Structure 1
């Protein structure tokens, strides 16, 4: 970074950011965040199953996509970045637990789609309530300006990630 003209202070700040970002990523992807919240709401599933439920929700509502889609095993596998056989096993586990249902697709009765049950939607509502309570606890003591500044800078960072890693890969 110094060779690119960044000051020693900025190089140190970037290294500190990288370490903090790694810690956040590890906590989030290792499952610490969802595991604690799932335990608190009393939902006895593992983080990968909850991740699949969240993926079903994102696909259904078009979050992070161009438009909402019907949730097939293939779409679930793609969203979770896993192979279709693993996605099928996870979906089957969720179906046996009463959190997901298979339904016939409206446009093609031979195709089955995955739909969250009322129990799953209730679990999401509880999850969000606990998540927001914990998130607000993190920001306790931050000023309004600090929260707004952090949010703007983080959105800018994520926008850069999207531009560099996803949009450039699509072109």
Structure 2
């Protein structure tokens, strides 16, 4: 693979870093998918809510560190779906369940009386606050051993990395059309040969 990538103009040092970074991100993805911290927080708090419902409650509350660009206005089911990147029908079902369990409620929009908005009840806000407090207690404790320099380096670089696809954008297929065509042709040849 390195020979192919080098043929496309990437240098070996960059490839080595990309491969190492990919391995780190794949391991991180697997751990994040388990949602260990969120599950632990719900379990330790004794809250009978699953992670998808917790996600919806957090999307309703919309903490600024997660949804800074999307905090204006009122929260509707469509807003929740967009914030979480889920289907609106799934968001609606989860909201309905949270309402039935007393964690959320529907209200009439103050901006447009024809719209229905979703808000957290006191019970819902208490759960979100407690779970996020545990999360930041543990994360803060872990980071407390890091130097200010390490944190000042990590945070902006991690932010930049988390937006790498936005930087490349939908132009990636255009930018690498020749390389992708070459790989497609080679793959087709190899698959045909069996």
| TM-score bracket relative to the smaller structure | 0.7 to 0.9
Partner of 1:63: 67
**Structure 2 length-normalised TM:** 0.72
Partner of 1:40: 44
Partner of 1:92: 96
Instruction: Report how far residue 63 of structure 1 moved.
Output: 2.1
Partner SS state of residue 11, structure 2: coil
Q: How many residues align?
A: 167
Instruction: Report how far residue 160 of structure 1 moved.
Output: 3.4
- Matched residues in 2 for 1:59 and 1:129: separation? 13
- Matched residues in 1 for 2:64 and 2:168: separation? 26
Q: Radius of gyration: which is bigger?
A: 2
- Matched residues in 2 for 1:63 and 1:38: separation? 22
Seen in structure 2, the aligned counterparts of structure 1 residues 139 and 98 have a Cα distance that, compared at 3 Å, is same
**Retained in 2: the 8 A contact 1:59–1:75?**
no
Larger CA deviation: 118-127 vs 65-74:
65-74
| Equivalent runs, 1:1-171 vs 2, <5 Å | 1-3=5-7, 4-7=9-12, 9-58=13-62, 63-65=67-69, 68-165=72-169
**Retained in 2: the 8 A contact 1:105–1:113?**
yes
Seen in structure 2, the aligned counterparts of structure 1 residues 167 and 151 have a Cα distance that, compared at 3 Å, is farther
The structure with more helix, counted as a fraction of residues: 2
Instruction: Report how far residue 166 of structure 1 moved.
Output: 8.1
- Matched residues in 1 for 2:28 and 2:74: separation? 31
Structure 1: gaps (5+ residues) = none
Could you give the per-residue CA deviations for residues 65-111 of structure 1, whole angstroms, max 9, x where no partner exists? 35513211222222222222211110011111111011111233332
Seen in structure 2, the aligned counterparts of structure 1 residues 64 and 30 have a Cα distance that, compared at 3 Å, is farther
Seen in structure 2, the aligned counterparts of structure 1 residues 60 and 113 have a Cα distance that, compared at 3 Å, is farther
Seen in structure 2, the aligned counterparts of structure 1 residues 90 and 16 have a Cα distance that, compared at 3 Å, is same
